[in-house]
Structure 1
Amino acid sequence: MLKSMTGFGKATIESDTLSVTAEVKSLNSKFLDIFCRIPRNYSEREIEIRNLITQSLERGKVEFTMTVTPIGDNSAGTVVNRALVKAYFKDLHQTAEELGFAPTPTEVLRMALQMPNVYLADAPTEDQQAAESIQIQQAALEALKKCNEFRQQEGRALAKVFRTSIQKIADSLLEVEELDKTRIPSVRERLRKNVRDLIQDEAFDENRFEQELVYFIEKFDISEEKVRLKNHLSYFIETMESRESNGKKLNFIAQEIGREINTIGSKANDSSIQHVVVQMKDELEKIKEQTANII
């Protein structure tokens, strides 16, 4: 089952005293790149949250945001850090004067109250800390679960895109096989003409002629490339439908598909076949663009 690296999940867990909201966003990346936004008072939870993300999301550029809001009487335990507010007020007022502004004291105070760490909360008891830890973990796990569900949904959509493009390439391969049937007689006739002209030459070397003939035939024969391309297409679908999502493997197979398509185009030396090859390349590019977003 394919799983996209693009995902989103959000969950809120509330208790009598606290509301915890966790939000997860993920985009494609070669590795697992985690960025966390956690309130300063709960920064010690970051390692735990990072471990949960690592176990759940595997790969991708992940942005995790957590907000914690006191509820009811618990919010009354918050007090203003007056010393820090005074320091902010003085610094902001001096900065405004240096820049030529003349804000009112009320405006400066409002700005000071919006600065970091101006509010202090009473230290929670051990029981409260344990309850908060469980609540934070539940919110994070629920958000990660929703993010994974989003990724699976995106993966199913990408699978449809892949199947469509692979089928179009397979249909184009059938068209190449039909065109190749008319190409071979044309190549054979050119060979016969060249052989007749060559035999009439006084400097004709039979051994050299046999070597050149074998090389010429191998150069124009695309039978092996057609077989390998067909096998690669089947292998891509087989890998896509396996239990594990493997974007890197799909990308490798897509590269092999591209190699066979290019070889068919160059060896066929036929304008009609080359037109079909262009169509195959166009569908392959669609596949390559999306395999980069698969875990």
Structure 2
Amino acid sequence: MIRSMTGYGRSEGNYKGRPVAVELRSVNHRYCDVVIRLPKLLAPLEETFKKKVQARFSRGHIELSINFNGSGNAPKQFKLDLESAEAYHRILKKLKTSLHLSGEIDVALMSHFREIITTSEPEEETAPLGRFVDRMVERSMRALEKMRGEEGRALGEDLAGHLDELDRMLGLIKQQEKKAVQAYHERLQKRVSELTQGIAVDPARLAQEVAILVDRSDISEETARLKTHLEQFRKMLQKDEAVGRALEFLLQEMNREVNTIGSKANDVNISLQVVAMKSGLEKIREQVQNIE
């Protein structure tokens, strides 16, 4: 069954007492466009996660977010450089004594020197954390796949209904095509009689003119191809693979056949059905754009 490109997947876990959340959001896109948002600690694994998502999904704009503690950053670590603090303190005491300066050399003053107290990311091995997050990404992808599959089934059912309606209208066109030839023959005969004011007209000549029009307005090939395209479209909806691009191409061919029928058919009723079919194809096109 076809899959939609719209979906959402989420998984939550706990790594060494730290809550971890992984989210995947997907919307329609011509190709597989993956955007990764993750903590600095996992930055070396960005390309790995990106390839993992691209291997599972063939189309869609997919955003992968990995958060620690509900945010993108892990708790920072603070480090005191006692040697630097002692050096600053000695220099400040010497400066105070040499220049006879007033004031206390206290913690408030010493804290202004950034070299004394520094911050850094927690030292932690990336490999075990990466394996833990990798399993969470896998669960999120399964959840996203499930939702895209459910959306795809709903899309498939709706598209099947539109195809049935197109099939019905195609049948009406075929029926009307047979009536159109006879109707044209009668109109032409009446028109000739009016112009010749009752003078006898060669039946063979009249039949020849009708035959010429029938040949010009013959839409049997177009209706046959359109029928084939409709059947092929239905078969593609049942495939368990990415068929979105193939459906887009097939839809273009269906539009081409319908346009040709409209331009060749010399009948009002057929033209009305063509307009209705174009409207139906446009509805299908809007939905096909969201199929993987």
Tell me the TM-score normalized by structure 2: 0.75
Q: Select between 130-139 and 14-23 the one with higher mean Cα deviation.
A: 14-23
* Secondary structure of 1:20 counterpart: strand
Decide whether the 8 Å contact of 1:13 with 1:138 is kept in 2: no
The code of the aligned residue for 1:238 comes to: K
Q: What pairs with 1:14-93 in structure 2 (closer than 5 Å)?
A: 14-69=14-69, 78-80=76-78
Measure how far apart 1:213 and its partner are. Answer: 6.5
Residues 273 and 214 of structure 1, relative CA distance in 2, 3 Å threshold: closer
Tell me what 2:130 maps to: 133
Measure how far apart 1:193 and its partner are. Answer: 6.0
Measure how far apart 1:65 and its partner are. Answer: 0.7
Q: What pairs with 1:244-259 in structure 2 (closer than 5 Å)?
A: 244-259=241-256
Tell me what 1:150 maps to: 147
Segments of structure 1 that go 5 or more residues without pairing to the other structure are 84-117
Segments of structure 2 that go 5 or more residues without pairing to the other structure are 82-117
Residues 271 and 235 of structure 1, relative CA distance in 2, 3 Å threshold: same
Of the candidates 151, 160, 171, which is equivalent to residue 168 of structure 2? 171
Measure how far apart 1:179 and its partner are. Answer: 2.2
Decide whether the 8 Å contact of 2:222 with 2:257 is kept in 1: yes
* Per-residue Cα deviation, 1:234-257 (whole angstroms, up to 9, x for no partner): 111012112323111111111111
Tell which structure's C-alpha radius of gyration is larger: 2
Structure 2 CA distance for aligned equivalents of residues 82 and 25 of structure 1? 42
Of the candidates 196, 220, 237, which is equivalent to residue 240 of structure 1? 237
* Secondary structure of 1:30 counterpart: coil
Structure 2 CA distance for aligned equivalents of residues 183 and 82 of structure 1? 94
Measure how far apart 1:15 and its partner are. Answer: 3.3
* Per-residue Cα deviation, 1:7-57 (whole angstroms, up to 9, x for no partner): 111111223433221111111111111111111122111011111111111
Tell me what 1:102 maps to: none
Report the structure, 1 or 2, having the larger helix content: 1
Of the candidates 274, 281, 284, which is equivalent to residue 281 of structure 2? 284
Tell me what 2:182 maps to: 185
Decide whether the 8 Å contact of 1:20 with 1:135 is kept in 2: no
* Per-residue Cα deviation, 1:259-286 (whole angstroms, up to 9, x for no partner): 1111222222222221121111111101
Structure 2 CA distance for aligned equivalents of residues 134 and 54 of structure 1? 18
The code of the aligned residue for 2:240 comes to: R
The code of the aligned residue for 1:63 comes to: E
Residues 82 and 41 of structure 1, relative CA distance in 2, 3 Å threshold: farther
Tell me what 1:104 maps to: none
Residues 119 and 67 of structure 1, relative CA distance in 2, 3 Å threshold: farther
